[in-house]
Amino acid sequence: MTDFIKTIIEDRVLKITFNRADKKNAITHAMYAAMAEAMADARTNDDVRAILFTGEGDMFTAGNDLVDFQQATSLEGEGPVMVFIKELVEALKPIVAAVNGRAVGIGLTMLLHCDFVYMAEGATISAPFVDLALVPENASSLLLPQVVCHVHAAEIFMLGKRVTATEAFEMNLINQVCSVEDVLEVATKTAVALGQKAPTALQATKRLMRGDLAPMQACIKVENDLFGTQLQSPEVAEAIGAFFEKRAPNFG
């Protein structure tokens, strides 16, 4: 398991921490593989009753590592990204997130699959896929408009709007806004409380609330195909080049 993902099981809670603070917790394929492995183990591990995500330092995650992803030829099949997304979507054990800082890209879309989300004051969430000439992933193009309505989702996806903690609460994206010092403690208390509930009833309740997963799974496949195509496009090459050169992209 990569050092950039820290895992610990305590009080029946699997805590998964993005641990790459010097790179703003940007996620590589190896990190996705580590998280997928941890979640797969949690699926059948009776010592785990809930899963908690957080980030090291002052960032939740900056999203996908752009250099690492540009080198990927495809997102098809059972690669580490898709395995992690599958574990996230199909997880029966409740998932809690402590968003301690900025959450970008997957940092936002994964929250749509969490059952409880706590966000620090001053933190923001954003999904600048179009700014990078990419498309949404993780069934977010289906789920986000359902949660916040189409026009707010359009601002987030199409304009790359950064959503503050207060706005996220008002949009029903998160449970509570906390201080930076308290966000992890509050989220941990929720995860520990979940771990004390009747596990079969808890998981059955989550399954009932989630409903039919088929529409999400179909959406993920369409998103994934388009994401993979865009990843190899001249638009992405220009967007990423502009990002690293700190200039505005030219799509003319």
Taking alpha carbons only, the member of 155, 125, 11, 35 closest to residue 85 is 35
pLDDT at position 67, please?
79
pLDDT at position 183, please?
98
Whether residue 75 lies inside any domain: the answer is yes
pLDDT greater than 70 at residue 114: yes
Whether residue 43 lies inside any domain: the answer is yes
Of 40-49, 112-121, 225-234, give the lowest mean pLDDT range: 225-234
DSSP states along 159-219: S-PPEEHHHHHHTTS-SEEE-TTTHHHHHHHHHHHHHTS-HHHHHHHHHHHH---HHHHHH
pLDDT greater than 90 at residue 238: yes
User: For 252, how many CA atoms within 13 A lie in the half-sphere containing its CB?
Assistant: 2
Instruction: Judge whether 89 and 143 are in contact, CB under 8 Å.
Output: no
| Cα–Cα distances in angstroms (integers) from residue 2 to residues 32, 44, 164, 187, in the given order | 9, 22, 31, 24
Of 13-17, 32-36, 227-231, give the lowest mean pLDDT range: 227-231
pLDDT at position 72, please?
61
Percent of the chain past pLDDT 70, that is, above it, reads 96
Whether residue 242 lies inside any domain: the answer is no
Question: What are the tens digits of pLDDT across the range 137-151?
Answer: 999 999 999 999 999
**pLDDT bucket at 251, cuts 50 / 70 / 90:** very high
User: For 137, how many CA atoms within 13 A lie in the half-sphere containing its CB?
Assistant: 27
Whether residue 218 lies inside any domain: the answer is no
pLDDT at position 76, please?
54
d(CA 51, CA 40): 11
pLDDT at position 231, please?
85
Which neighbouring-strand residues pair with 14?
A: 9, 51
Identify the CATH number of the domain in which residue 46 sits.
3.90.226.10
- What is the rounded average pLDDT of the residues 173-191? 98
Number of domains in the chain: 1
Whether residue 130 lies inside any domain: the answer is yes
Whether residue 121 lies inside any domain: the answer is yes
pLDDT at position 232, please?
86
- What is the rounded average pLDDT of the residues 82-87? 96
pLDDT at position 66, please?
81
Whether residue 191 lies inside any domain: the answer is no
- Count of CB atoms within 10 A of residue 248's CB? 7
pLDDT at position 77, please?
56
What rounded mean pLDDT belongs to the chain? 94
Which neighbouring-strand residues pair with 18?
A: 5, 55
Whether residue 26 lies inside any domain: the answer is yes
HEC string of 94-141 equals CEEEEECCEEECHHHHHHHHCCEEEEECCCEEECCCHHHCCCCCCCHH
Structural domain that includes position 127: 5-180
